[in-house]
Amino acid sequence: MQIVKATLEDAETILALQKVAYQSEAALYNDYTILPLHEKIEHTQEAFSNHLVLKALDDEGKILGSVRGKIEKGVTKIGKLMVHPSAQNKGVGRALMEAIEKELPSQTYALFTGSKSEKNLFLYQTLGYTIVSYSTLPGEATVFAFLEKHSKL
């Protein structure tokens, strides 16, 4: 597996992966209206202008996963971590998280995930993140867990 910077040409493939990867989240909450399942290609493409987007590739160059992040007011905000269902539980998500943190170093990292998403919460907590609050987001019924990680630069 290789982690590299994604390009705008990867946007459609990453969006298709997102719609597959987030099915399990929708099922967990019995809510198929979640925003990642209805994101438009324009929104995905726009992310490339203001985020660093990474992709995990298999030996044949197929995208197994992706994550995006940006530094905002000194905080690295990480989002849209996704791994194809066939590649889950094989270290892809962990590798993507470690890579985005390395590429966007800061003293504080912030992200959120569904509060019932036990596998996601377990991964983030093993990477040093702690839950700092629970809340909803505009347009979402899901209660999210907001997590942070503090490091010494």
* DSSP-H helix ranges across 66-134: 92-103, 118-126
Give the single-character DSSP code of 30: T
Q: Which domain holds residue 103?
A: 2-150
Average pLDDT of the residues in 100-127: 96
59-80 pLDDT per residue, tens = 999 999 999 999 999 999 999 9
Q: What is the pLDDT of residue 51?
A: 97
Q: What is the pLDDT of residue 153?
A: 65
CATH of the domain at 44: 3.40.630.30
Q: What is the pLDDT of residue 34?
A: 87
Q: What total number of domains does the chain contain? A: 1
Please identify which residue in the block is written with the tokens 């985020």: 51
Q: What is the pLDDT of residue 137?
A: 84
**pLDDT of residue 139 exceeding 80:** no
Average pLDDT of the residues in 79-97: 96
How far is the C-alpha of 113 from the C-alpha of 21, rounded, in Å?
14
